[in-house]
Amino acid sequence: MARLQDKVIIITGAAQGMGATHARMCIEAGAKVVLTDINTEKGQALAAELGNQALFIQHNVTSEDDWTQVIAATQAYFGTINVLVNNAGITQSKSILETSLDDYRRILEINQVSVFLGMKAVIPSMQASKQGSIINISSINGLVGGAIGYTDSKFAVRGMTKAAALECAPFGIRVNSVHPGVIATPMIMQGDTKAAVEAFAKSIPLRRVAQPEEVSRLVLYLASDDSSYSTGSEFIVDGGLTAQ
């Protein structure tokens, strides 16, 4: 039997990038995956590519009403929800002085508030079945300093994960965070950015950046029953960067 056979998984920000890689690997492992994203065109195209084990739902992760609709649609289409991957997020590299209040609130809404809303929306379904795994994608900047706003939000995801893990443990629901380092996504592996990333990779103990699949394998582990005794923990995928 496949590792995630018939598990029902919601992945936010799944139309492209890391979310799309998570979705592909989960479906290959036997899961039924609901892909959510604000990018309808790319989301629908990916769902069509992945076949009848995938469903796309247009989703603004900062909207409580959208979350309610996503949970209801998932249960109606696939059944009981087993896993939520809070993957949607944005980056920002402005200094404090360059960051407006609107900038700051936007990154917190997308990176932090959406995780709170997702957990709040899915927990009742998981409580009813007395099982579940919530996987919150943070960053190494949830462990060490980085840009204002982005770092703040990713530290918050780490803290929310621990608080939710303690609250949800009596119901058999596990909550963990994943902290990727530098990942070779198409967005950064092109043009001048690619040269900068390759130069930075020399400072990583493993002397390379990660491939998206290396993060997805960790997500797959946390989604599976193999991680049945792991909750409230940080899982780091950074080639040793934060160990220095």
Q: Which amino acid is at 122?
A: V
Whole-number Å distance between alpha carbons of 157 and 62: 15
- Largest Cα separation within the chain, whole Å, is 54
**Cβ partners under 8 Å of residue 182, min gap 6:** 188, 197, 200, 201, 204, 209, 210, 238, 239, 241
The answer to whether residues 71 and 51 touch, using CB atoms and an 8 Å cutoff, is no
Q: How many residues does the chain have?
A: 244
Annotated active-site residue in 77, 104, 150, 221:
150
Q: Is 150 considered catalytic here?
A: yes
Burial of 153 (0-12, 13-18, 19+ CB in 10 A): buried
State the catalytic residues.
150
